[in-house]
Amino acid sequence: MILQFLLLIAGLLLLIKGADWLVENSSAFARKKNVSDLAVGLTIVAFGTSAPELVVNVVAAYQGHDDIVFGNVIGSNNFNLFFILGVAGLISPLLVQQTTVWKEIPISLLAAVVLYFLVNNFFLDTEGILGRGDAFILILFFLAFLYYVYTQLKDVPSTSPAAVKEISNTRIFGFIALGLAGLIIGGRLVVENAMDIASSLGVSEKIIGITIVAAGTSLPELATSVIAAFKKNNDIAVGNIVGSNIFNIFFILGLSALVKPIGYDIVFNTDLYLLFGGTILLFLFMFLGGKRKLERWEAGVLLLLYLAYTTYLVLNEL
């Protein structure tokens, strides 16, 4: 089992480095085109940092590991919301633009609600399966979100340094290609060795997916938001998390279900309830007093809630 752990770590490192190259160079290209920081955070950075979840989920869906597919996305979203924003907010209080409070956070809640209704058979009678019909609904929501970002944020001025202009497109696209290669290889290593570890330890795929795999694939979001918090770039720190959560559900689960219909275990409903509550709590923290800021004590509450729930999950599995 030691070999599986080492290969799992190697896969996560490849995912992180691949996502780093993808995010850094995609963002550089966008900023050369004068795209704003918030737009970059909600789209390119969110997509790039969600790339590990995308690769892991597509591989897991193709191989029929349904609990890994849902555990990875729902677990990643909870990790993003509670742990990463908790850590970033403890580093520096996060003040964000008004649109983040009134539009992007509610859209991330909408994504979770739509997923809940789809997998619990409120829209289509798919008997506990996220089928291809459901996938098309998720993809349509994703396209609508992209259109919203384009129409609402395209005119916000970029604050990026002029030095970005000097980076050649050849170098940018070369590193994007290397990043994608790292993601593909790393994703396969993560899925295959996570399954071996789960089998060796006698724990469920759900627990492995919602803890080890979810936290591992969310490391790019963690690094991005923590660095942004240190640099006081709050729009990137928060936009990255909110955008990633929207991407994870609408795009990644949608694409995963297009690859192969995914069976849904209703035990994940509890994790979705946590995601609902956390998103509403984040909105209230940002909304109260009209300050649009996540204070340190509020970030601490998010972090403690995540640690308490994760402890409960692990102890319940033993």
Q: Does the residue 50 lie in any domain?
A: yes
Amino acid at 65: H
Residue 160 counted as domain residue: no
In a domain, 159, yes or no: no
DSSP characters over 107-142: HHHHHHHHHHHHHTTSSS--SSEE-HHHHHHHHHHH
Q: How many domains does the chain have?
A: 1
What is the mean pLDDT of the segment spanning 54-78?
A: 91
Give the range of the structural domain holding residue 294, as residue numbers without chain letter. 2-154+167-317
pLDDT above 60: residue 99: yes
Q: Please report which confidence band the pLDDT of residue 123 belongs to, taking 50, 70 and 90 as the band edges.
A: low
Angle between helices 46-63 and 234-246 in degrees, nearest 10: 20
Q: Is residue 69 part of a domain?
A: yes
**Local confidence band at 38 (pLDDT 50, 70, 90 cut-offs):** low
- Please, which pLDDT band fits residue 164 given cuts at 50, 70 and 90? low
161 is a domain residue: no
Higher pLDDT pick, 4 / 34: 4
pTM of the model: 0.82
How many other C-beta atoms can be found within 10 angstroms of the C-beta atom of residue 298?
A: 22
Residue 296 or 35, more confident: 296
Per the domain annotation, does 107 fall within a domain? Answer: yes
Q: How far apart are the C-alpha atoms of 78 and 251, rounded to whole Å?
A: 17
- pLDDT for the residue numbered 246: 93
CA geometry: angle 71, 318, 69, nearest 5 deg: 10
| Mean pLDDT, the chain, whole residue set | 83
Stronger pLDDT, 17 or 141, i.e. the higher one: 141
Assess if residue 240 is contained within a domain. Answer: yes
Whether pLDDT at 35 is above 90: no
Question: Does any domain span residue 226?
Answer: yes
**Sign (positive or negative) of CA dihedral 23, 25, 26, 31:** positive
**What secondary structure does DSSP assign to the chain, as a single string?**
-HHHHHHHHHHHHHHHHHHHHHHHHHHHHHHHTT--HHHHIIIIIHHHHHHHHHHHHHHHHHHT-HHHHHHHHHHHHHIIIIIIHHHHHHHS-EE--HHIIIIIHHHHHHHHHHHHHHHTTSSS--SSEE-HHHHHHHHHHHHHHHHHHHHHHTTSPP---GGGGGS-HHHHHHHHHHHHHHHHHHHHHHHHHHHHHHHHHT--HHHHIIIIIHHHHTHHHHHHHHHHHHTT-HHHHHHHHHHHHHIIIIIIIHHHHHHS-EE--TTHHHHHHHHHHHHHHHHHHHHGGG--EE-HHHHHHHHHHHHHHHHHHHHHH-
pLDDT level of residue 24 (50, 70, 90 thresholds): confident
Give me the mean pLDDT over the 242-247 stretch: 89
The predicted pLDDT at position 201 comes to: 79
**Domain CATH number, residue 61:** 1.20.1420.30
Whether pLDDT at 219 is above 60: yes
Residue 85 structure tokens: 């924003």
The percent of residues in the chain predicted with pLDDT above 90, rounded, is: 34
Q: Give the residue carrying structure tokens 């690769």.
A: 55
Q: Average pLDDT, stretch 209-230? A: 82
